[in-house]
Amino acid sequence: LGLATDADGDRFGIVDEKGHFVEQNLILALILDYLVEKKEWRGGVARSVATTHLLDRIARRYNLPVYKTPVGFKYIADLFLKQKIIFGGEESACLTVKDHLPEKDGILAGLLVAEIVATSGKPLSELVEELHQKYGRRVFKQESRPISLEIEKKLTALIASPPAELAGRQVEKVVTVDGLKLDFSGDDWVLLRLSGTEPLIRCYAEAEEETEVNRLMKAAWEKVE
């Protein structure tokens, strides 16, 4: 098991016993599932719009409310101060939990993963596989491209008038708290948003199969390029 943080300790990186990097969305889901199943925590779950819907699947199983925020951990931290939140996470390797700092903590994430491995007596790769069996396999991707005035105008127009379908799939829900997010059946989704820190436009997508993720992202990029 390998545990790492960035230079200031607020983001995490986890490697399993085989030396394979474990995608951060899976770590978020693993920790949330542990907290609600083994520790029996109950309360709200906070995540950014760019974060895996695996968290939603876990929350649905335990009848927990899910709060969706713009990208930026400050929005999740603010919810901890206003609501009964037990867990908050972002796809960019950020999380915190109740009765801790209302801020992202990579050291905490690593310690929680170590606790899960130690108390279960199972290697991390096996725990991740069990997570897949319980909640389904998900593929998540994120791409960034340079922004231009033309792209920004197209995204603004798209937010004002979202499509009813994309890549041949019916849009079930439109979310515009941070860019344009289109939700589809089966917890599949795609998001286009402008970076808040760099001159980039980002595209995120999640689905059961990588081919579907690629299809959704290709169709989304075509809307703004």
Could you tell me which of 66, 72, 44, 46 has the C-alpha nearest to residue 178? 72
C-alpha closest to that of 47 among 35, 39, 59? 59
117-152 pLDDT, tens per residue? 999 999 999 999 999 999 999 999 999 999 999 999
Place of tokens 């799939």: 169
* Residues 6 or more apart in contact with residue 81 via CB below 8 angstroms: 102
* Domains by residue range for the chain, with CATH: 2-135 (3.40.120.10), 139-224 (3.30.310.50)
Please give the pLDDT value at position 222: 97
- Predicted pLDDT of residue 26: 98
User: What whole-number distance in Å separates Cα of residue 169 and Cα of residue 190?
Assistant: 12
Only one residue has tokens 């029996």, namely 40
Q: Structure tokens of 205?
A: 């997508």
Query: Using one digit for the tens of pLDDT, what is the confidence trace for 151-187?
Result: 999 999 999 999 999 999 999 999 999 999 999 999 9
Q: Per-residue pLDDT tens for 66-96? A: 999 999 999 999 999 999 999 999 999 999 9
* Separation CA 125–CA 131 (nearest Å): 10
Decide if 61 contacts 9 (C-beta within 8 A): no
